[in-house]
Amino acid sequence: MRKFSTSVTLMFRELPALERFAAARNAGFDKVEIQVLEAGPADMARETGQAGVSVLLLNVGMGDFLTGGPGLIGTPGREAEFVLELGKAFDVARALDIPLVHLGPARIPDGMTRETCLATLKKNIAAAVLASKNSSVTLLVEPLNTADMPNVLLRNIDETAAMIRTEFAGKIWLMFDIYHVARNGQNVLETFRRNRDLVKHVQFSDVPGRHEPGTGSLDFEFLFAGIEAEGYAGFFGAEYMPSRPTAETLGWLKTLGGRQ
């Protein structure tokens, strides 16, 4: 049976943050993802335990990225802020036994060059690798797309994979987001095949709009089956913005091979 996780940051937002864990479980998910921390680890541990779900993935704090700013990981001068957020994420990952930690996205600030920001990003990745040395977490980076974010720092999955292979082999891995790859105009399956060796997690939403499957142009059964044919046996993470109340958008969970 195909395995799905769900974002409790983008989805189930009709409910307060701590109630989303039970809602996710009632909808058929036993793994959730947290892109933005909205509660303390003790409260989340209690609610996930009561709901019978576990957290699969956590993002390191992104600073001002979600409000249009450059974020932390690739912004010169914000290294101390990144390290602080990294420590918070590792504390939560330990408390909730979270296996995957995404190091966060970045934009290129006005007046700075991409090369300077990439150097900062690599410095911060190295700090994260060192900080995770005695941890069991798997560190991920995720290229986004230039159609939605023209000034995004990590903007191409092949380029990012080359950076990992050259400078961080065996230390960090790729999060493969079907939406961002397709939005960049790349062939999803061909791009996945080229980078299969680095992919530790797959996320999805439809194109365009970033809503649930069936609202756009992507054939998810074809894509999921093709990814699985390459040996991927991990979770597919639903990370979309529901076009209606979340529970009304989950018909795909049954038709695409989930638990509902």
Catalytic residue among 33, 85, 212, 239: 239
Cis peptide before 208 (omega within 30 of 0): yes
What is the per-residue pLDDT for 260?
35
Catalytic residue among 33, 85, 142, 212: 142
- Does the pTM of the predicted model rise above 0.95? yes
Task: State yes or no: pLDDT of 78 exceeds 70.
Answer: yes
Contact in structure between 174 and 160 (CB atoms under 8 Å): yes
The structure tokens listed for 209 are: 């709009």
The structure tokens listed for 190 are: 């061909």
Give residue-wise pLDDT tens across range 217-227.
999 999 999 99
Local structure of residue 72 (DSSP, 8 states): S
CA nearest neighbour of 139 among 88, 81, 100: 100
The residue behind tokens 């990012």 is 160
Give residue-wise pLDDT tens across range 12-21.
999 999 999 9
What is the per-residue pLDDT for 259?
45
- Classify residue 91 as exposed, middle or buried by CB count within 10 Å of its CB (0-12, 13-18, 19+): exposed
Active site residue 142: yes
What distance in Å separates the CA atoms of residue 62 and residue 39, rounded to the nearest whole number? Answer: 16
What distance in Å separates the CA atoms of residue 28 and residue 171, rounded to the nearest whole number? Answer: 33
Contact in structure between 158 and 139 (CB atoms under 8 Å): no
> Could you give the C-alpha distances from 144 to 83, 104, 150, 157, 173, in angstroms and in order?
22, 11, 10, 8, 15
What is the per-residue pLDDT for 89?
97
Give residue-wise pLDDT tens across range 182-218.
999 999 999 999 999 999 999 999 999 999 999 999 9
What distance in Å separates the CA atoms of residue 49 and residue 70, rounded to the nearest whole number? Answer: 35
Active site residue 239: yes
The CATH label, of 3.40.605.10, 3.20.20.150, 3.30.530.20, 2.70.70.10, for the domain at 4-255 is 3.20.20.150
Alpha-helical regions (H) of the chain: 20-27, 41-51, 79-96, 114-131, 157-167, 178-183, 188-195, 220-229, 251-255
Contact in structure between 188 and 223 (CB atoms under 8 Å): yes
Sequence-distant (≥ 6) Cβ neighbours of residue 155 within 8 angstroms: 143, 144, 145, 146, 149, 184
- Percentage of residues in the chain having pLDDT higher than 70: 99
Contact in structure between 201 and 100 (CB atoms under 8 Å): yes
What distance in Å separates the CA atoms of residue 168 and residue 233, rounded to the nearest whole number? Answer: 23
Q: What is the mean pLDDT of the chain?
A: 97
E strand or H helix that includes residue 107:
none
**Residue 138: beta bridge partners?**
100
Contact in structure between 172 and 125 (CB atoms under 8 Å): yes
Give residue-wise pLDDT tens across range 136-179.
999 999 999 999 999 999 999 999 999 999 999 999 999 999 99
